[in-house]
Amino acid sequence: MTEKFICPYCERLLTEKHYCVSCKKDFSIEAAHTNEGTLPDYQIAQQDYIDNVCFHLLKEFIPTSNWDIRQIGTIRDALINVLIKFHGKKEYDLYPWLLEPEDTISM
Ligand SMILES: [Zn+2]
């Protein structure tokens, strides 16, 4: 059986071939990885990129600081908020997540 997913940009239902009609974007690679519970390499690299930027920012102020995902996550949330709110960036492009199945749509 083919699971149907929600578009991470517009939250509309993707087609059975994992295509978003309104965004005109194909999510078949992302859907195949979601079925295996993982992100594609390019999205893992994007997450690492953001986390590394946040870690380096922290190190600007606290050079001795260690990798701590709570601190990095706090900086990341603030950074992503600014990029979305003031620069029109998309959260999914900045810090992608697994596709959400159809049944998580709230009625
Ligand atoms: Zn869409």
Q: Is 60 contained in some domain?
A: yes
Q: What pLDDT was estimated at residue 106? A: 56
Is pTM, for the whole model, over 0.75?
yes
- Condensed to tens digits (0 to 9), the pLDDT of residues 54-64 reads 999 999 999 99
DSSP the chain: -PPPBB-TTT-PBP-TTSEETTTTEE-HHHHHHHHTT---HHHHHHHHHHHHHHHHHHHHH-TT----HHHHHHHHHHHHHHHHHHH---HHHHS--PPPBGGG---
Q: How far is the CA of 49 from the centre of ligand 1 (A)?
A: 24
The reply to whether 92 falls in a domain is yes
Q: In angstroms, what is the span from residue 26 Cα to ligand 1's centroid?
A: 9
In a domain? residue 10 = no
Residues of the chain with confidence (pLDDT) below 70: 1-2, 104-107
Give the residue numbers spanning the domain of 32.
Answer: 19-104
- Separation of 13 CA from ligand 1 center, angstroms? 8
Rounded to the nearest angstrom, the distance between the alpha carbon of 7 and the centre of ligand 1 is 5
Q: How many domains does the chain have?
A: 1
Kindly state whether residue 77 falls inside one of the protein's structural domains: yes
